[in-house]
Chain A
């Protein structure tokens, strides 16, 4: 039954069995790839081998075996059965492929995998900014002292000149360089240090006939903390979220192990979009991710979503969580409180950057901020470049 279906669906021109098989399994691999599976050429060969081993008449066996070969993560595992059915059981494969090609996206979208292809969301402030902020990439600038001074106290809300953007990038790069990391207990071998590594010293002395002329040392290792950025992109933050996205982009390009999410009424991972080497396409993808969100900010719910879906993977004893938000929360404050308590317990440091915090008359009076205060290690404001420079040492010392 299976074979008949496929023969009809594929209409492979070749007569030989070998080629029919190849067409079938290469087609299946392509079908999975179109649905965001990470399938490689060697997987096609492996799946043919599997098919020959298990035979192709028992559909269940074939399904289980192919699943073991072609899936490589839990999220793929959950979607596999539906995709397998769609390819092998029904003769409407072509229709599905066409829908996908027309831009409808994968047939079944897992919310866990939402960061890859999610197409729901709210326009970021980038949309309303008029000028194209990303065309500065690589543009030459000369920044005179006077330019720097006037820039230092401009709100980020007015920044869209290439020179000024360049200055921001520069500041963030310096920040990234100083982000050296926290000392961890595990030691490593080194040529200098304080503690002698006996095993290594003896090993080195073997070539000197047992005389320990070259000493081996142990030294504490430093590891950069993993950074999780949670950016509020709601309307009240629209003046600043552009800047923070820029920060996220530069940071994730310069430093490994940075994980970035944006939230408003829900939470979406934007790591892939930010890493896109083409700045225009990166911007395009961010637009796509956030198109169509509406309603007030629900920080608590968004953080809760983060805990449910990403916390086990991302939070450990060396994670620094940085939340960027003005704290205007339309949800229940208890929710926010609970979520923050959970995150705080599972990470190393919790930093809250509030663009409003620089203002002289600022008190953390909004309901959201009040709920958050007991759990955060550092509340700082970064409204403009000067205050960013001012805040960075604090953030650095908190992270280490």
Chain B
């Protein structure tokens, strides 16, 4: 039985790969659990390790919609859940003045779903088939909004005073990401499955580079990944993530670099702005340092 399960996990991993997403087997196992139990999945990790990519890949895999809620400071319930279309309602009131129906009927008409503007969260629980709901950078919102999310994430229902409680017709697949700028509450964490995503190892990163940028020559890809891996070992303020690696790959391809060696050091120095993105880090990657790294590739 368990070997069956392992086969399932491996097949999920392969299908994900088919959709351009490289995952470790352990991550595939977690993702499988997320899909079966329909519990939200909380992803944490440094910026640029591909957390958002997970949701996109999942929606491609399941062939459902991806509904994204980008969190920011000051995000309130109105822009995340729902809002009444007031202007539209007022217009309706004026039009209904001539109407002979009872006030009760009119009222029901005004507060019906026709005048409801669905925002991402309401959209997610009313859509069928179940969509993938990505709540991105949840740590940027304030505690108040986080508390608001709890009801949604545990029961997948939402109360709208004028309409009553709206239950999810089908539970969406929820993925939350956090960069750790603020510690999330235990209550939220308890409701989620958890996965920490680290910087990819050499093999994985190479595989990703090859999948995402197929035109890159094999040798260059190897060298570049090795270079990035050793840059990450350095004491930097902001370590380059996967996105930076991919940027750098296309930058080098554009510059016409086909192999990393000490002769082409100028071009490499020029392209480093795609890899390290603070002034201090750029100052740290001086020519001798880069030469040493290049020689090691």
Q: What residues make up the interface of A, taking CB atoms closer than 8 Å to B?
A: 38, 40, 42-43, 46, 49-50, 53-58, 60-61, 63-65, 67-69, 71-74, 77-78, 184-186, 188, 199, 202-203, 205-206, 209-210, 221, 312-313, 316, 342
- Which chain B residues numbered 71 to 104 have a C-beta less than 8 Å away from chain A? 73-74, 76, 83-84, 86-87, 89-90, 93-94
10 closest pairs, A vs B, by CB? A186-B74, A55-B2, A72-B189, A202-B86, A57-B2, A64-B29, A77-B196, A64-B26, A58-B2, A68-B30
Interface pair B33/A206, CB less than 8 Å apart: no
When C-beta atoms are compared, the residue in chain B nearest to A43 turns out to be B190
Closest to A342 in B: B237
Q: Assess whether A205 is in contact with B193, with CB atoms less than 8 Å apart.
A: no
Whether the pair B90, A73 counts as a contact (CB closer than 8 A) is no
A316 CB to nearest chain B CB (Å): 6
Contacts of B1 in A (CB 8 A): 55, 57
Whose C-beta in chain B lies nearest to the C-beta of A346? B237
- Give complex CA distance A313, B140 in Å: 11
B36 touches A53 (CB 8 A): yes
B2 pairs with A206, CB closer than 8 A: no
The chain A residue with its CB closest to the CB of B78 is: A199
| A-B pairs with beta carbons under 8 Å apart, 22 shown | A49-B37, A50-B33, A53-B37, A54-B5, A55-B1, A56-B2, A57-B3, A58-B6, A64-B25, A64-B29, A64-B30, A67-B26, A67-B194, A68-B30, A69-B193, A72-B186, A184-B74, A186-B73, A203-B84, A209-B93, A312-B179, A312-B181
Chain B residue with the shortest CB-CB distance to A221:
B74
Min distance, Cβ B116 to any Cβ of chain A, angstroms: 13
What residues on B are CB-neighbors of A58 within 8 Å? 2-3, 5-6
Contacts of B25 in A (CB 8 A): 60, 64
Shortest distance between the CB of A162 and any CB in chain B (Å): 36
Contact across chains for B30 and A65 when beta carbons are under 8 A apart: yes
Cβ of A46 to closest chain B Cβ, rounded Å: 8
B9 interface hit (Cβ, 8 Å): yes
- Return chain A residues, CB-CB under 8 Å to B5: 53-55, 58, 61
Q: Is B211 an interface residue (CB 8 A)?
A: no
Most buried by A among B76, B90, B192: B90
Q: In this complex, what residue of B is CB-closest to A226?
A: B182
Whether B180 pairs with A312 at a CB distance below 8 angstroms is yes
Q: Assess whether A40 is in contact with B90, with CB atoms less than 8 Å apart.
A: no
A63 and B190 alpha carbons, distance in the complex (Å): 18
Specify which chain A residues have a CB less than 8 angstroms from the CB of B155 in the assembled complex.
Answer: none
CB-based nearest A residue for B46: A312
Q: A53-B33, A64-B30, A221-B74 are in contact. List 18 more A-B contacts (CB 8 A).
A: A40-B190, A54-B2, A61-B5, A61-B29, A68-B30, A68-B195, A72-B42, A72-B189, A74-B45, A74-B180, A77-B194, A184-B74, A202-B87, A202-B90, A203-B84, A206-B90, A312-B181, A313-B180
Q: Is B44 engaged at the interface, CB distance under 8 Å to the other chain?
A: yes
**In the bound complex, CA of A209 to CA of B195 (Å):** 52
Cross-interface CB contact of A38 among B45, B87, B186, cutoff 8 Å: B186
Q: For B2, give the chain A residue with the smallest CB separation.
A: A55
Contact of A65 among B33, B44, B84, B179 (CB under 8 A): B33
Separation of A54 and B36 alpha carbons in the complex (Å): 11
- Neighbouring A residues of B93 by C-beta, 8 Å: 206, 209-210
CA distance A17 to B70 in the complex (A): 46
Which residues of A lie under 8 Å from residue B9 when comparing CB positions?
61
Answer whether residue B183 sits at the interface, using C-beta atoms and an 8 A cutoff. Answer: yes
Nearest chain-A residue to B195 (Cβ)?
A68
A43 to chain B: which residues have CB within 8 Å? 190
For the A-B complex, the count of residue pairs with Cβ-Cβ distances under 8 Å equals: 111
Q: How long is the Cα–Cα vector from A221 to B144 in the complex, in angstroms? A: 14
Residue of B nearest to A54 (CB): B5
Would A73 and B44 be within 8 Å (CB), given that A55-B5, A58-B5 are in contact?
Answer: yes
- Whose C-beta in chain A lies nearest to the C-beta of B278? A345
A73 touches B189 (CB 8 A): yes
Tell me if A74 and B3 are in contact (CB < 8 A).
no
- On chain A, the residues within 8 Å of B190 by CB distance are 38, 40, 42-43, 72
Q: Which residue of A lies closest to B182 (CB)?
A: A313
- B130 on the interface (CB 8 Å rule)? no
Q: Which residues of B contact A316 (CB under 8 A)?
A: 181-182
Q: Taking the complex as formed, is B110 at the interface, i.e. its CB lies under 8 A from any CB of chain A? A: yes
Contacts of B33 in A (CB 8 A): 50, 53-54, 65, 68-69
CA distance A96 to B179 in the complex (A): 34
Which A residues touch B45, using CB under 8 A? 74
Shortest beta-carbon distance, B197 to chain A, in Å?
Answer: 10
Chain A residue contacts of B37, Cβ below 8 A = 46, 49-50, 53
Q: Mark B1-19, 1 if CB is under 8 A from A, else 0.
A: 1110110010000000000
Set of chain B residues within 8 Å of A60, measured between Cβ atoms: 25-26
Bound Cα distance from A209 to B90, whole angstroms: 8
Tell whether, in the assembled complex, residue B186 and residue A61 are in contact, meaning their CB atoms are under 8 Å apart.
Answer: no
Those of B88-128 within 8 Å (CB) of chain A: 89-90, 93-94, 110
- For A208, the closest partner residue in chain B by CB is B93
**Interface of chain B residues 195 through 220 with chain A (CB within 8 A):** 195-196
In the complex where A53-B33, A56-B2, A313-B182 touch, is A210 in contact with B194 (Cβ < 8 A)? no
Q: Looking across the interface, which residue of chain B has its beta carbon closest to that of A75?
A: B196
Smallest CB separation, A387 vs chain B (Å): 34
Q: CA separation between A170 and B1, bound complex, in Å? A: 66
B194 and A71 contacting across the interface, CB-CB below 8 Å: yes
Task: Give Cα distance in the complex from A202 to B92, angstroms.
Answer: 13
Residues of B contacting A49 with CB < 8 Å? 37
Are the C-beta atoms of A61 and B2 separated by less than 8 Å? yes
A69 to B41 CA separation, bound complex (whole angstroms): 10
Q: From residue B98, how far is it (CB to closest CB) to chain A in Å?
A: 13
Residue among A42, A46, A188 having the largest count of chain B Cβ atoms under 10 Å: A46
- A206 B110 Cβ-Cβ under 8 A: yes
Q: Which residue of A lies closest to B183 (CB)?
A: A313
Q: How far is the CA of A313 from the CA of B183 in the complex (A)?
A: 7
- Complex alpha-carbon distance, A199 and B183, angstroms: 33
CA distance A397 to B74 in the complex (A): 24
B92–chain A nearest beta-carbon distance, Å: 10
0/1 string, B40-57, CB within 8 A of A gives 1: 011011000000000000
Q: Smallest CB–CB gap between A231 and chain B, Å?
A: 21
A60 to B186, CA, bound (A): 27
Task: Find the B residue at minimum CB distance from A338.
Answer: B280
Q: Smallest Cβ distance from A341 to chain B, in angstroms?
A: 9
